[in-house]
Amino acid sequence: MRLYIIRHADPDYENDTITEYGKKQADMLAMRMKEIMPDKIYSSPRGRAIATAKPTCELLGMDYTIEEWATEKMEYMVSPDYEDEEVMRRSWEQSLADGIYRYEDFAKEDRKEHIVGMIDSSDEFLLRHGYKREGLLYKTINPNQEKIAVFCHGGFGGAWISHLLSLPPAMGWLHFSLHTTSVTEFAFANNENGITFPRCMRLGDVSHLSGLTRD
C-alpha cells in the first residue's frame, strides 16, 4: 500500500477555504495526483482541505470521503514544555524503549487527549486498509497495492507523519515544515513474514509546483 499525506493549498483561514493562489496550487496538485492515480481519496472536514481535494476528485472522476479525525487542532502545534527537563528526558526514553510513546510525547496534560485520539484514529484507519499496528510494527492483515490519498493540514500532518515514523507526534510540528499542497509518501511493503514498517519515500514534496509564482 502507498499512503499520501497532503497538506491543503494556500489557505484563507478566515473563511476556511483556499486563496486564488491556492486554487492554482490545487490545480497543479491535481495533475500530480493524476499521475499517481489514487484508489481512494480522503479529506479532513475543514473547508480548506476539501477545496484542495476537489480539483483532484473532479479531474479523476472520484469522490472524497471525510475523515473527521484528520481535522486540524491547535494541540498538535504547541511546543513541548522545555522548562521541565525531566519530562523531556523521560518522554523520549520511554518513547524509544516501549515503541508505543503513549507518554504523550512531551505534551502537557491538556494536550494528551487529542494526541492519543490521533494515535488511536491513525491505527484504526490503517487497520481498515489492511495494516494492524503492534508496537513499532504493522502486521499485514490484508496486504494490498492500494494508493490512499489523505488531504489534511500542516500541524496534523506533522503529528501523523511523526507517529508513522515511530517518533513522538509532538515533534512533527517542530521538525517538519510542510509546504502547502506538499505530498508525503509512505510505502507499506507486503513482506512475506507478514510484518512491515511504513517507509517514508518522500517528505513534503512540492515538485508539482515548479514554475508557479505568486502574482
| 43, 65 contact by CB (below 8 A) | yes
Let me know if residue 212 belongs to a domain: no
Task: Using a cut of 0.75, tell me whether the model's pTM lies above it.
Answer: yes
The DSSP bridge partners found for residue 64 are 41
How do residues 62-112 score in pLDDT, each as one tens digit?
Answer: 999 999 999 998 767 665 555 555 554 544 444 444 444 444 445 555 667
Let me know if residue 214 belongs to a domain: no
The set of cell numbers assigned to 204 is: 513534503
Structure confidence at residue 136 as a pLDDT band (50, 70, 90): confident
Let me know if residue 37 belongs to a domain: yes
Helix (H) or strand (E) holding 125: helix 109-128
In terms of residue numbers, what domain contains 196? 2-206
Let me know if residue 196 belongs to a domain: yes
Let me know if residue 186 belongs to a domain: yes
Q: State yes or no: pLDDT of 144 exceeds 70.
A: yes
CATH number of the domain bearing residue 43: 3.40.50.1240
Residue 149 phi/psi, 5-degree rounding, is: -110, 130
The count of structural domains within the chain is 1
